[in-house]
Amino acid sequence: MSSFVPSTSLLLAMLVATGAAAQSADGTFSSNQRFVPKNGEVLYRSICQGCHMPDAKGAVGAGKFPALARNEKLEANGYPVFVVLNGLRGMPGFGLYLDDEQVAAVVNYVRSHFGNNYRDNVSAGDVKAAR
Amino acid sequence: MSDSEQHGTSRRDLLKLIGTVAGSAAMYQAMTSLGVAAESPYSGPIKLEGDPKGASVLILGAGLAGLVAALELRKAGYKVQLLEYADRIGGRCWTLRGGDRYTELGGFEQQCAFDKGLYLNPGPWRIPYHHHAMLDYCKRFGVALEPFVQVNYNAYLHSHRAFAGKPQRLRHVLSDFNGHVAELLGKAVSQNKLDEMVTQEDKEILLAALRRWGALNRDYTYAANGFTSDRRGYERDPGGGLAGAPTVSQPVGLGDLLKSGLWRHLATGNIYEFHTTLFQPVGGMDMIAKALARELQGLVQLDAKVTSIKQDAQRVTVTYQNSKSGGDVRTASADWCICTIPLSILSQIDINVGNEMASAISAVPYDASCKIGLQFKRRFWEQDDAIYGGISYTDLPISLIGYPNTGYSDAGKAVLLGAYTFGPYAYELTALPPAERVKRAVAWGAEIHPQYEAEFENGIAVGWHRVPGVQGCYGLWSEETRKAHYKNLCQIDGRIALAGEHASYLPAWQEGAVLSALDTISRLHQRVVASR
Ligand SMILES: Cc1cc2nc3c(=O)[nH]c(=O)nc-3n(C[C@H](O)[C@H](O)[C@H](O)COP(=O)(O)OP(=O)(O)OC[C@H]3O[C@@H](n4cnc5c(N)ncnc54)[C@H](O)[C@@H]3O)c2cc1C
- Residue B511 lies inside a defined structural domain of this protein: yes
Interval B155-211: pLDDT, tens? 999 999 999 999 999 999 999 999 999 999 999 999 999 999 999 999 999 999 999
A6: pLDDT strictly greater than 60? no
Residues 399-428 of B with CB under 8 A from A: 399, 421, 423-425, 427-428
Report the helix count and the strand count for chain B, using DSSP H and E.
16, 23
State residue A60 phi and psi, 5-degree precision.
Answer: -125, 130
- Which residues from A are below 8 Å from B366, CB to CB? 90, 92
Q: Domain limits at B221?
A: 170-260
Whether A61 and chain B come into contact, CB under 8 Å, resolves to: yes
For residue A28, give the nearest of A82, A121, A102, A125 by alpha carbon.
Answer: A102
All structural domains of chain A with their residue ranges = 1-33, 35-130
Q: Are residues B196 and B256 in the same domain?
A: yes
Distance from CA of A24 to the nearest CA of B (A): 11
The CA dihedral of B155, B157, B160, B166, to the nearest 10 degrees, is -60
Is residue B51 within 8 Å of residue B529, measured between CB atoms? yes
**The whole model's pTM is what?**
0.92
For residue B280, give the nearest of B185, B150, B190 by alpha carbon.
Answer: B150
For A34, the 3-state DSSP assignment is coil
Select A35-130's CATH number: 1.20.1090.10, 1.10.760.10, 3.40.47.10, 3.90.1150.10. 1.10.760.10
Q: Are residues B389 and B435 in the same domain?
A: yes
Q: What is the pLDDT of residue B532?
A: 75
Q: Are residues B359 and B333 in the same domain?
A: yes
- Residue B18 lies inside a defined structural domain of this protein: no
Q: Given B305, B421, B425, which is nearest A62 (Cβ)?
A: B305
Distance CA B435, CA B419 (A): 14
Q: Are residues B106 and B245 in the same domain?
A: no
- Residue B404 lies inside a defined structural domain of this protein: yes
| Chain Cα centroid distance, residue B345 | 22
Q: Are residues B299 and B375 in the same domain?
A: no
User: Residue B150: which CATH number?
Assistant: 3.90.660.10
Q: Given B365, B440, B463, which is nearest A90 (Cβ)?
A: B365
- Which residues from A are below 8 Å from B469, CB to CB? 61-62
Q: Are residues B334 and B483 in the same domain?
A: yes
A95: pLDDT strictly greater than 50? yes
Distance CA B192, CA B100 (A): 66
Burial class (CB in 10 A: 0-12, 13-18, 19+), B78: buried
- Residue B272 lies inside a defined structural domain of this protein: no
Number of domains chain B contains? 3
Q: Are residues B414 and B482 in the same domain?
A: no
Q: Are residues B308 and B434 in the same domain?
A: no
Annotate B309-376 with DSSP letters as a single string: EEE-SS-EEEEEEETTTEEEEEEEEESEEEE---HHHHTTSEE---HHHHHHHTS--B---EEEEEEE
Q: Are residues B353 and B483 in the same domain?
A: yes
B404 lines ligand 1 (CB under 6 A): no
- Residue B84 lies inside a defined structural domain of this protein: yes
State residue B426 phi and psi, 5-degree precision.
Answer: -70, -40
Boundary residue ending a domain (B466, B497, B522):
B466
Mean pLDDT of B56-78: 98
For B73, the 3-state DSSP assignment is helix
User: Residue B197: which CATH number?
Assistant: 1.20.1440.240
Q: What is the pLDDT of residue B531?
A: 87
Which one has a higher pLDDT value, B79 or B40?
B79
Dist. CA B468 → ligand 1 center (Å): 11
Is residue B492 within 8 Å of residue B524, measured between CB atoms? yes
Is residue B377 within 8 Å of residue B509, measured between CB atoms? no
Q: Which of A76-85, B40-49, B257-266, B358-367 has the lowest mean pLDDT?
A: B40-49
3-state secondary structure B474-508: CECCCHHHHHHHHHHHHCCECCEEECCHHHCCCCC
Is residue B91 within 8 Å of residue B61, measured between CB atoms? yes
pLDDT band at B40 (very low <50, low <70, confident <90, very high): low
Q: What is the pLDDT of residue A7?
A: 37
User: Residue B294: which CATH number?
Assistant: 3.50.50.60
Is residue B376 within 8 Å of residue B455, measured between CB atoms? yes
Tell me the average pLDDT of chain B: 93
Annotate B76-87 with DSSP letters as a single string: TT-EEEEE-SSS
pLDDT band at B41 (very low <50, low <70, confident <90, very high): confident
Closest CA to ligand 1's atom 49: B91
Q: Are residues B461 and B386 in the same domain?
A: yes
A89: pLDDT strictly greater than 60? yes
Annotate A69-125 with DSSP letters as a single string: TT-GGGSSTHHHHHHHHHEETTEEP-TTTS-HHHHHHHHHHHHTSTT--------HH
